[in-house]
Structure 1
Amino acid sequence: MTSVTDRLTESVLLEILENAFQWFVVVDKESNILYINEEYCKFLETTREEAIGKPVNEVIENSRMHEVVETGEEHVASPHFIKGNYMLANRVPVRVDGEIVGAFGSVIFRDMNDWHNLSSQVRTTMEKIKIGQTAEKTTFQLQDILGSSDSIRSIKETIQMIAPSDLPVLIQGESGTGKEMFAQSIHYLSNRSEKPFVKVNCAAIPAEFLELELFGSVGSTEQIQRKGRIHQAEGGTLFLDDLGDMPLSMQVKLLRVLQEGTIEPIGSHNANKVNIRIIAAVNQPLKNLMESGKFREDLYYRIHAVTLQIPPLRQRMDDFEEITNHFFHETIATVGKRNLSIAPETMQTLKEYSWPGNVRELQNVIQAAVYLTNGDVIEPSVLPQGVRAKSRYYTGNTQTLQQAIEQLEGNIIAETLQMYPNKREAAKVLGLSRSTFYEKMKKYEF
């Protein structure tokens, strides 16, 4: 009986290759293009004649076909950043008699939005990454960042531009603005998305243990005794939260990682190569720390070239209702109170608060309000006292000047207590004696 392959003429095979996949490319064992279909050429703004015979990475931006040829490992549903957009590609090695003789690749989704809408299973697979015993799963992606204000749109556009690079990124913003979400979004959009995303909170780890935590240690035979976070992040992204709290001695070592791509574990005299991208976050300007001698000038200039300034919630009120409704619907779905709604006056009260704890504080307040509400409507009465205080800004209503001043004073005290729950510390921050501070707390019913 005649086999199927015997009955397929060359013209039929070419017709299948041209139409079976929207974009399709085949390379030889030197990663030179053997075949590329017409639709792919149109997208790449080239011709088949110009493309065939050339190294694939000279024709296709950010191509990883050569990695498949070299390693023999398949890339399934792998993000591919090309011409300002992310697509999903399959890359498979071609073997003849057990020897790799080339590879072929196909694009399965041309747009990441289509992917997210059509393939939740693929998305789940992409999120399962191994990053060691203390690492964390990437859970936030660009579409998870809520808001369409000019500032947020600009940050998202910047993330899309810088994600494919290996440039270090500095993220500045107040506590609670979601800096880790932005860091994970960069990682997820990068070519490192299938590798680890490892977080280190520099403020939470005592200074005497930070070196061990980051760099690990070796024994007398150079055998690794403890794998540091940097090694855990190999091939992926190391996220250094609260970088401003890193001791100066450790800043020197971090600078070496950035400049030379090497580390020396504790107990070792050999420099080990590492392949990581560093994203750092701070809640106060590093320039101020540098000027006060708490941050190295050379490290500052090395890490601040790409800086994302995350605005506080009070400066992006155009996004407020979208963010509030997101947290609200997310919580009622979890709790099972699907008939619950937010009273208009409650939403107005929320808008008038200045949110010193930013998006994180808003999320906590909404969650608490859902749990504390017995009826079908969230009333202002279930909100915390500090939130129920009206706007710290004078709105030009019928208040007297004295009333406006008292309103402002009460809101400042409320905000300070939110940031500094310890009353002695709050009084000190405001420059008040303890007795005066307690009198004002009693006056404003805190």
Structure 2
Amino acid sequence: MFETLLLNFLFLLLPVLLFIIFFENRAYSYNRIIIVFLSAVAMSLCIAKPFKLDIGYIFDLRYIPFIIVALFGGYKNVLPLYILLNVHRFYVGGEGIIQSFLFSTILTILIPLYNKKFMKLHSKGRIIAATVIAFLTMAFYLFTLSFNHGALNQQFWILTINAFTTHVGVMIVIMILIEKIIDNIKNRDRIIQSERLNVVSELAASVSHEIRNPLTVTSGFLQLLRKSKTITKEEKTYVELSLQELQRAEKIVSDYLLYSKPQSENMVYSNMSEESQYTKNIITPYASIHKVEVVFTFNNTLNKNYDRNQIQQCLINLYKNGIEAMKENDGGKLYIDISEKKQNIIIKIRDTGIGMSKEEISRLGKPYYSTKEEGTGLGMLMVYSTINKVKGNIEVDSEKGKGTTFLITIPT
């Protein structure tokens, strides 16, 4: 039995190891398919090599990858595993086919219901939740099994002890490994993002001032030319277009200047009360135009050293993006909540707009990427740059058609 236990454990480790080695850096949608496929392979191998106890009972660890995929991926990802599990079980044959089918059907219906709440838990919370669900799953399985075996003799209790300890222990180990992988991916992304923002910041500081000077001079001469009475109406139109493009170019340069190092004259040590109230007042008329109601709450006493102008611009950019995301819905609500938690300033900005896919979320903050047709992506780049300078962290939760939530954590 010990050899079979190690073999089943190896089957469950196989998807984890293969994912780390070959697929960790792939796109999210591609990774999802690979994870489901590897989980299906592990589940099939567990069914093919079950535990065979001396007392005559047979069981395996097939439901561990099944539960994990159901919790992380929901109905969409667990359905292929459900089909494969039952096809394989019918192929193996023997007693208990109907019971296995009914049991797997109940799990397929119930466990994915917890998917959204599960994904919002922190790392330790997910490990505990998955372990509890594995325990309850096995308890339910043994409960139904007890009806088929009459009196609960010593053999049944031996099976119960083996099933509980094996499933709970293996689930804990696998979940710890999965959470470690997730944590490593997040840390790597933070480092890459930080390096990218530093490069942009240095580029902005060294180039923007030099570009702004000739833009200003050119704009001045074009304005003088526009006042001339010797140019034709068509030529005046060309001048107007040129001035508009120069203004747009100057705005982009101004955005780049915001990525430079915080200015000493703008540095404050505060709890962001003035900045949040100021930006809320600034954005309210814009929200009213687009039929958006702003719901603002502030409950923070923690202070932080930061550049006032950059924080203000950061918040305005996030508010503006949230309002514009609700244009297609003909209005909505923008929730702004600034609070404190365990020596961290928490800024939560939620809209009820069009939402984003996970692919779009993964590309936020990258230079020149924008979800808007006319956007340059510099606004979100500035947001990530500002939060990075105060050693903060940004988490984005979004769903197509339901809205987006930005959760910013700033340590004090």
Structure with greater proportional helix content: 2
- Normalising by structure 1, we get a TM-score of 0.23
